[in-house]
Homo-oligomer: A and B are copies of this chain.
Amino acid sequence: MIEVTEKPIEVEKVLQSVVTEKSGGFVHFIGSVRQEKGISGLDYECYPAMARSILVKIMNEAKQRWKVERMAIVHRYGWVAVGESSVVIAVAAEHRREAFAACEFVIEEIKKKAPIWKRERFSYVQNS
């Protein structure tokens, strides 16, 4: 499951999507917008078609490097309120070390490569 979406991420559904009785270890990463300095959320700009293709590439590379059974990556864009998730990654594997390594690799790669931008807060100040 790979998704780049403007809608709130159904976290439970993403985590469930990698569950099979053949996997013994599941590692998840969830990135959320956290409360700081009185903000009510963050606006993510995105190049959706490319973001999707980059996520597919990252998933394929992770699957080549580690023995992973299933993987799901969902990234949200647009306005994400404090407490809501911006990214959810779920990895199912036979061995926990592979699951951890693959999951951490995916979020690191997303941070480096996915064409997604948190909009700078000063841009709102300029517009006001």
Question: A residues engaging B (CB < 8 A)?
Answer: 12, 19, 21-35, 82-83, 94, 96-97, 99-100, 103-104, 107
Given A27-B28, A28-B26, A104-B100, verify A21-B94 contact (CB < 8 Å): no
Contact of A32 among B26, B30, B33, B83 (CB under 8 A): B26
Note all chain B residues with C-beta closer than 8 A to A30. Answer: 25-28
Q: List 22 A-B contacts (CB under 8 A).
A: A12-B12, A19-B83, A21-B34, A22-B34, A23-B34, A25-B31, A25-B32, A26-B28, A26-B29, A26-B30, A27-B27, A27-B28, A27-B30, A29-B96, A29-B99, A29-B100, A31-B96, A96-B104, A96-B107, A97-B104, A100-B100, A100-B103
